[in-house]
Amino acid sequence: MQTADTELPPAHANQAKSTLTDSNTVSTLPSVRKAATETQALVVPQPFRAEIDTPTDWPTVLGPVILGLAALWFTWRNHNLQVGAASASYRNAWLQQLRTAAVDFAGAAVELQLSCMRDITFMQSERALSLLNRVYAGRATMRLMLDPKHESTLLLHGAIDGVLVHMTVPSDEFDDVLNSFERRAREVLEDAWTDIRQELSR
């Protein structure tokens, strides 16, 4: 029995080839896609990191900080000196005013005492009235300028009152009360001068 090879018409042959080609292409596509996906998964861009290992230049880093701190300290010091100088200037003016009031008070009291010893009618004169005004003005000035809470101030107030009691009558005790006033006033003035020196030395 003979088997005859059947030849397909040209149109059918081309169609068969096309079918085989499409089949091979379809079967190949998943492999290509998978390979492309794997390639993309493998090639992932990484961020660029540049590290430069250099020694720290501490003088350059700390220099501005030290200069800034030094400038801040000098500014603070200058401010304190100005405040201290202003305070010392005010205290010095206060000291001069207190000294003037004490000297005028003592001078007027001494003149009243001597005048009363020479003339018992002196207290009726206009000059006596002028001296009394100076005495009481000095007393009021010192009382207003001094802190009544300080012990030295209280002692000075007592000495002032002693002068007022003995200045218009002849008395041997006048010299003692006047010396007491001068001593108390000197103590107050010395304390004030000590405070001025402390203000200037800060």
Residue 88 has pLDDT above 70, yes or no: no
Q: Model confidence at 45, in pLDDT bands (50, 70, 90)?
A: low
Q: Where are the domains of the chain?
A: 80-201
Residue 47 has pLDDT above 50, yes or no: yes
Instruction: Work out the percent of the chain whose per-residue pLDDT is above 70.
Output: 59
Q: What are the φ/ψ torsions at residue 125 (nearest 5 degrees)?
A: -90, 165
- Separation of alpha carbons 101 and 187, rounded Å: 15
pLDDT by residue (tens digit) across 116-154? 989 989 999 999 999 999 999 999 999 998 888 888 889
The pair of three-digit structure tokens given for residue 134, joined into one six-digit string: 């100076």
Instruction: Map residue 139 onto helix, strand or coil.
Output: helix
Query: Could you count the other beta carbons within 10 Å of the beta carbon of residue 3?
Result: 5
Question: Span 161-174, mean pLDDT?
Answer: 88
Residue 72 has pLDDT above 80, yes or no: no
Tell me the CB-side half-sphere exposure of residue 10, using CA atoms within 13 A: 0
Instruction: Map residue 7 onto helix, strand or coil.
Output: coil
Q: What is the pLDDT of residue 46?
A: 61
pLDDT by residue (tens digit) across 27-39? 444 554 554 555 5
Q: CA torsion sign, 134 to 135 to 137 to 138?
A: positive
Place of tokens 């001296």: 131
Cα distances from 165 to residues 12, 13, 62, 158, in angstroms, run 155, 154, 73, 11
Cα distances from 154 to residues 41, 100, 137, 151, 188, in angstroms, run 98, 19, 18, 5, 10
H helices of the chain, in order, are: 10-42, 58-118, 126-145, 151-166, 174-201
The pair of three-digit structure tokens given for residue 197, joined into one six-digit string: 């020196």
Tell me the CB-side half-sphere exposure of residue 78, using CA atoms within 13 A: 6
Of the chain, the end-to-end C-alpha distance in Å amounts to 137
Question: Span 72-77, mean pLDDT?
Answer: 68
Residue closest to 145 by CA, chosen among 83, 101, 85:
101
Cα distances from 150 to residues 58, 62, 82, 159, in angstroms, run 57, 52, 28, 15
